[in-house]
């Protein structure tokens, strides 16, 4: 936990919070906090700053907050991701939150197994939990927006054209794409397929919408690896 992330419900007054549960245990066991210690803190969807330990009991900790700084700038990207297998999903939620992605669309494709959509990791509370862990790691406060689209064609034809407006649109594809651009730092829409990639029909639909296929080279990466590599290349 690089940032103590505070919920609105934690505040008992304008500048004081009381914490219990996971965060209390982490502060006691990992940070080994003592009275008077100062921690880096931030309020969800708000500012960052510091929190000073005022009181520690067996069941709670009370801190005084001073939150005056803006969180890190978001990446100007909309990420479109074919729903990965559930065991990858948690890590991807954390990764995109840590790296500053603020819009993620999870879509269905031909190679996405139907059973993936039944995972409890798609429940809103489970998604939020993983995003918060990612924000804590990246010292950010702004929760990403997650959109779930279970029908490929209606999404690509009816919604995607508006999403790519005024952005550079890329689709990661191991065959026939240009090398991934470096350090664009401009508004981008990026589509990443499932394990094994998009099928030809899906690639063609994306290209028709304005997407340029890009490649990371001859090595085939897992989705959980490809996403941070692509983000790191596109944004310096």
At 181 the pLDDT is: 93
Reduce the secondary structure of 9-52 to three states and give it as a string. Answer: HHECCCCEEEECHHHHHHHHHHHCCCCCCEEEEEECCCCEEEEE
The CATH architecture one would assign to domain 77-234 is 3-Layer(aba) Sandwich (3.40)
- The secondary structure element, H or E, covering residue 204 is helix 200-208
Q: What is the mean pLDDT of residues 149-159?
A: 97
Confidence grade of residue 156 (pLDDT, cut at 50, 70, 90): very high
Q: What is the mean pLDDT of residues 53-78?
A: 96
Q: What is the mean pLDDT of residues 59-76?
A: 97
At 118 the pLDDT is: 96
Q: Which of 189, 178, 169, 171 is nearest to 217 (CA)?
A: 178
Q: What is the mean pLDDT of residues 98-117?
A: 97
Confirm if 232 and 201 have CB atoms less than 8 A apart: no
Q: What is the mean pLDDT of residues 16-23?
A: 96
Confirm if 231 and 75 have CB atoms less than 8 A apart: yes
Q: What does the mean pLDDT of the chain come to?
A: 95
At 26 the pLDDT is: 94
At 218 the pLDDT is: 82
Is pLDDT larger for residue 109 or for residue 220? 109
At 99 the pLDDT is: 97
The topology (CATH level 3) of 4-69 is Ribosomal Protein L25; Chain P (2.40.240)
Domain boundaries, the chain: 4-69, 77-234
CA distance 107 to 149: 5
Query: Which is it for strands 48-56 and 16-19: parallel, antiparallel or unpaired?
Result: unpaired
Give the CA diameter of the chain.
Answer: 61
């Amino acid at each position: 936990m690089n940032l103590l992330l505070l919920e609105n419900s934690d505040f008992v007054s304008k500048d004081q919070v009381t914490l219990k549960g996971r965060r209390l245990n982490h502060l006691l066991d990992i940070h080994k906090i003592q009275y008077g210690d100062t921690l880096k803190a931030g309020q969800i969807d708000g500012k960052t700053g510091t929190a000073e330990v005022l009181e520690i009991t067996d069941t709670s900790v009370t801190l005084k907050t001073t939150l005056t700084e803006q969180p890190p700038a978001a990446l100007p990207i909309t990420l479109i991701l074919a729903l990965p297998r559930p065991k990858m999903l948690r890590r991807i939620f954390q990764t995109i939150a840590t790296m500053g992605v603020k819009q993620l669309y999870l879509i269905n494709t031909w190679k996405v197994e139907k059973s993936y959509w039944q995972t409890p990791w798609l429940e809103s509370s489970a998604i939020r939990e993983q995003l918060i862990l990612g924000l804590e790691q990246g010292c950010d406060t702004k929760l990403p927006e997650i959109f779930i689209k279970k029908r490929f064609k209606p999404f690509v034809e009816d919604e995607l054209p508006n999403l790519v407006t005024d952005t550079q649109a890329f689709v990661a594809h191991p065959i026939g794409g240009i090398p991934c651009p470096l350090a664009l730092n401009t508004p981008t829409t990026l589509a990443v397929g499932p394990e094994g990639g998009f099928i030809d029909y899906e690639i063609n639909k994306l290209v028709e919408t304005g997407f340029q296929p890009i490649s990371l080279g001859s090595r085939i990466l897992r989705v959980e690896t490809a996403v941070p590599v692509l983000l790191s290349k596109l944004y310096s």
